[in-house]
Amino acid sequence: MGKVSVIVVGAGSAGSVVARRLIDAGADVTVFEAGGEDTNPAIHDLSRLGELWHSPDDWDYYTTPMEGTAGKRVHLPRGKVLGGSHALNATIWVRCAQQDFDGWAEHCGPEWAWENVLPVYRDIEDFSGGASDVHGVGGPIPVDNDYELDGIHESIIKAAEQSGVPFNPDYNSGVLDGVSKEQVNIVDGVRINTWKAYLKPVRGQATIITGAEVHSVILEQGAVVGVNYRQDGQMRQLTADHVVLSAGALGSPQILLRSGIGPSEELQQAGVAPVHALQGVGKNLHDHLLAPVIAKTTARDIPAPRQGVSVTQSHLFAKSRDDLEAPDTQPIFFAVPMYSPGMEPIDGTAFTLHSGIVTPYSRGELTLSGPDLDDPVNIDINALADPRDIQAFLFSIKQCRSIAQQEALAESWGAQEIYPGPEVQDDEQLEEYIRNNAVTYHHQVGTCAMGVDERAVVDPELKVHGLTGLRVIDASIMPRITTGNTNAPSILIGEKGAKFLLKDLGLAD
């Protein structure tokens, strides 16, 4: 008998993990990646992160105009390159809250409970602080907590403490709350992502097809037997025993919808013949959001970004209400001005305290406008539709303003708030400012949600409901977004999904 053949669509955070585990288990693996090789130097040097947006390595999506953002479209960069969004991201390593996984486990079983998630995280990590009950060493992904902080970030952390926020030396140790230095996936000034750590070292043992965009899966009587893809302008097909979609929260639902798997009426409207009704495909889209507090430094200049390190090095987690079990806000701090579209640039140097909400209640959707790869996709994150999201945001932005006024920033750096600015004072004005200036935290999830109800797209082992030979393994399966940055959870999903798949294929016990 020949080897079992598996197609993995997408070589991003989760897909690179899945492909590596399949290769190690002896499967015949073909990886389709729409983007190309990671040759842009800005991918590897975090100080050049901003150069990647709108580049050929960015899918460069935009939302539809949203009521909650005063009718504005929000830019949604996504990695279109080997490495996926882990090639474009800030590499901040956040395992998120225990409650997130225990919440998933309530509907999806104990495999997803924190006690069965923590050992996987430990195995993924190579933690600079050494092994412990909570941290691992020797894993594929470096997690650095020992790099030198830039002076402005030291002052921001001090200012947060002066405002009453406790310092947390390790937010990945089980308690998120407090202000912290960010732990990052950088070694000797170079980004390490799952493509480099998992898949690239064994690329010769798989077929990796770049510049190949998967249009849809091939379905035969309820069984998925391959994919239709476009390469060099030609539509082609490849068959396999199993297909894994790891195309991300904006990519995987598109492939399902173009295959006729989704809400039947909507598919018909988009000119796609419905084949398998699944109401939840493309629904439940949600994201974290940010709104900037930008302060100019009048006492001295912030030095230019150092090569190899990120302009964001610190963040904090806080609860906007006392009755919450886990934080719902996570402001993130930058050594540069992070302007929202339309803001006038500031003369001189400036830093940003980006207020942020990380347990949004608002839910949006992704829909097709037509059946072809080039038909635009409608992405509506429905930002700030739920008033509870505004309440949490108001808390976060006030906290950021207060931090900017503390002695460590006001006196040492001469910090002077420019945005929102002195004219924005009461809650109504602040809400208007947030709606006008909200941007994505880059954490879209939920469009192929895992679960067992009628809105679920995949089951707790990530198999697409009602079909054989098809799984979704990436950020899109999160039924509810994690409390914090979504990359570590996406890699965790890659490891968990690979384990389920190998067992299913008879390649592991």
Ligand X SMILES: Cc1cc2nc3c(=O)[nH]c(=O)nc-3n(C[C@H](O)[C@H](O)[C@H](O)COP(=O)(O)OP(=O)(O)OC[C@H]3O[C@@H](n4cnc5c(N)ncnc54)[C@H](O)[C@@H]3O)c2cc1C
Compute the least distance from the CB of residue 243 to ligand X, in Å. Answer: 12
CB 142 within 8 A of CB 184: no
Q: Is 486 in the site for ligand X (CB under 6 A)?
A: yes
**What whole-number distance in Å separates Cα of residue 415 and Cα of residue 149?**
19
Residue 58's beta-bridge partner residues?
79
Q: For this structure, is 443 an active site residue?
A: yes
Q: Residue written as tokens 């949004």?
A: 360
When the beta carbons of 478 and 507 are compared against ligand X, the nearer one is 478
Q: Residue written as tokens 């906007």?
A: 320
Taking CB under 6 A as the binding criterion, the range among 140-148, 446-454, 458-466, 485-493 that sits at the site for ligand X is 485-493
**What whole-number distance in Å separates Cα of residue 127 and Cα of residue 144?**
6
Compute the least distance from the CB of residue 430 to ligand X, in Å. Answer: 25
- Output the DSSP codes for 362-375: --BEEEESSSSTTS
Compute the least distance from the CB of residue 366 to ligand X, in Å. Answer: 12
When the beta carbons of 90 and 418 are compared against ligand X, the nearer one is 90
Please tell me whether residue 55 adopts helix, strand or coil conformation: coil
When the beta carbons of 409 and 457 are compared against ligand X, the nearer one is 457
**What whole-number distance in Å separates Cα of residue 469 and Cα of residue 385?**
37
Compute the least distance from the CB of residue 223 to ligand X, in Å. Answer: 21
Which one is catalytic: 54, 286, 443, 465? 443
- The contact mask relative to ligand X for 243-262 (x = CB under 6 A, - = no) is ---xxxx-x---x-------
Q: Is 213 in the site for ligand X (CB under 6 A)?
A: yes
Residue among 122, 286, 296, 442 that touches ligand X (CB under 6 A): 442
Which tokens sit at 419?
A: 């945005």
Taking CB under 6 A as the binding criterion, the range among 113-121, 127-135, 241-249, 289-297 that sits at the site for ligand X is 241-249
When the beta carbons of 389 and 495 are compared against ligand X, the nearer one is 495
Compute the least distance from the CB of residue 492 to ligand X, in Å. Answer: 11
Residue nearest to ligand X (CB): 12
Residue among 43, 63, 72, 77 that touches ligand X (CB under 6 A): 77
Cβ within 8 Å of residue 297, ≥6 positions away: 152, 348, 349, 350, 351, 413, 414, 415, 416
Q: Is 9 in the site for ligand X (CB under 6 A)?
A: yes
When the beta carbons of 88 and 366 are compared against ligand X, the nearer one is 88
Q: Is 416 in the site for ligand X (CB under 6 A)?
A: no
Q: Is 33 in the site for ligand X (CB under 6 A)?
A: yes
Residue among 78, 191, 315, 401 that touches ligand X (CB under 6 A): 78
* Touching ligand X, residues 263-322 (CB under 6 A): none
Q: Is 86 in the site for ligand X (CB under 6 A)?
A: yes
Give the chain's radius of gyration (CA, Å).
22
Closest CA to 138 of 125, 152, 155: 125
CB 121 within 8 A of CB 135: no
CB 235 within 8 A of CB 228: yes
User: How many alpha carbons lie under 13 Å from residue 79 in its C-beta half-sphere?
Assistant: 33
**What whole-number distance in Å separates Cα of residue 475 and Cα of residue 96?**
14
Residue 445's beta-bridge partner residues?
286
Residue among 7, 18, 22, 88 that touches ligand X (CB under 6 A): 88
Scanning 314-451, the segments in alpha helix (DSSP H) are: 387-404, 407-410, 427-437
Compute the least distance from the CB of residue 247 to ligand X, in Å. Answer: 3
Compute the least distance from the CB of residue 469 to ligand X, in Å. Answer: 18
**What whole-number distance in Å separates Cα of residue 5 and Cα of residue 156?**
51
CB 30 within 8 A of CB 10: no
| Residues annotated as part of the active site | 443
- Positions touching ligand X (CB under 6 A) are 9-15, 32-35, 77-80, 84-86, 88-92, 94, 213-214, 246-249, 251, 255, 442-443, 474-475, 485-488, 490
